[in-house]
């Protein structure tokens, strides 16, 4: 229980300067808290509605703790279905998982690692993966940002084929021959 008589006595014993100082301090704190709430809301909207897939995964097993809508779309599931999935299960090749774990152990993070992922509906996509370890609410996690580079990979393959094959016949050309010879 609050002793209001005592509170009034404390306030009455304050000087005008102390009361003004308390009022200013209260106003500044209120503004700072409002600014923090606005900043958090902007950040949340940026991550949740942003075009880049973002994941937060448990460490070391890689269980998805959070995934935004873009990540769920990439994997071909609803956002709520993504939670609890093992992210490495989406890697197309087992050696990618080993290489990522080795890079995490060696450097502490993963930078611009290209790999293939398979969605729930069996679509194969090329992605560029970046991972950074963090500590959130006392728990070790990995923050992963993913960029779908499937279109770029398809363009690379088309250009490589055009450079190494005859446009009319589709047969390997001289450049391809010398490449194979060396």
pLDDT value of position 87 = 85
Question: Can you spell out the DSSP letters for 1-30?
Answer: ---HHHHHHHHHTS-HHHHHHHHHHHHHHH
Predicted model pTM: 0.66
Q: In this structure, what are the phi and psi dihedrals at residue 138, rounded to the nearest 5 degrees?
A: 75, 15
Question: The tokens 């404390």 sit on which residue?
Answer: 10
pLDDT tens per residue, range 134-172: 988 888 999 999 999 989 999 998 898 998 898 888 888
Written as six digits, the tokens of 29 are 């704190």
Q: What pLDDT is stored for residue 129 in this prediction? A: 94
Looking from the CA of 58 toward its CB, the CA atoms found within 13 Å total: 8
Q: Where are the alpha helices (DSSP H) in the chain?
A: 4-12, 16-49, 69-75, 79-82, 94-107, 150-164, 174-181
Please state the separation of Cα 8 from the chain's center in Å: 52
With vertex at residue 33, the alpha carbon angle to CA 79 and CA 132, rounded to the nearest 5 degrees, is 45
Q: How high does pLDDT run on average in the chain?
A: 85
pLDDT digits (tens, 9 = 90+) for 87-134: 888 889 989 988 998 999 999 999 999 999 988 888 899 999 999 999
Asked if residue 62 lies in contact with residue 89, where contact means CB atoms within 8 angstroms, the answer is no
Q: Is 109 helix (H, G, I), strand (E, B) or coil?
A: coil
CA distance 124 to 96: 14
What pLDDT score does 146 carry?
A: 92
- Across residues 21-27, what is the average pLDDT? 80
pLDDT above 90 covers a percentage of the chain that reads 24
């Amino acid at each position: 229980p609050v002793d209001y008589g005592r509170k009034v006595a404390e306030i009455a014993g304050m000087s005008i300067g102390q009361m003004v100082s308390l009022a200013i301090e209260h106003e500044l704190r209120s503004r700072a808290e409002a600014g923090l709430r606005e900043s958090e809301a902007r950040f949340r909207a940026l991550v949740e509605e942003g075009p880049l897939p973002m994941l937060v995964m448990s460490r070391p097993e890689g269980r998805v703790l959070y995934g935004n809508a873009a990540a769920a779309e990439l994997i071909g599931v609803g956002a709520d279905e993504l939670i609890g999935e093992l992210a490495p299960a989406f890697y197309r090749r087992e050696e990618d998982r080993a290489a990522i774990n080795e890079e995490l152990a060696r450097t502490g993070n993963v930078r611009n690692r290209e790999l293939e992922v398979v969605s729930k509906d069996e679509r194969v996509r090329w992605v560029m993966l970046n991972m950074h370890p963090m500590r959130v609410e006392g728990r070790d996690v990995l923050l992963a940002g993913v960029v779908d580079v499937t279109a770029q990979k398809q363009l690379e393959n088309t250009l490589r084929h055009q450079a190494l094959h005859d446009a009319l016949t589709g047969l390997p050309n001289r450049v391809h021959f010398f490449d194979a010879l060396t």
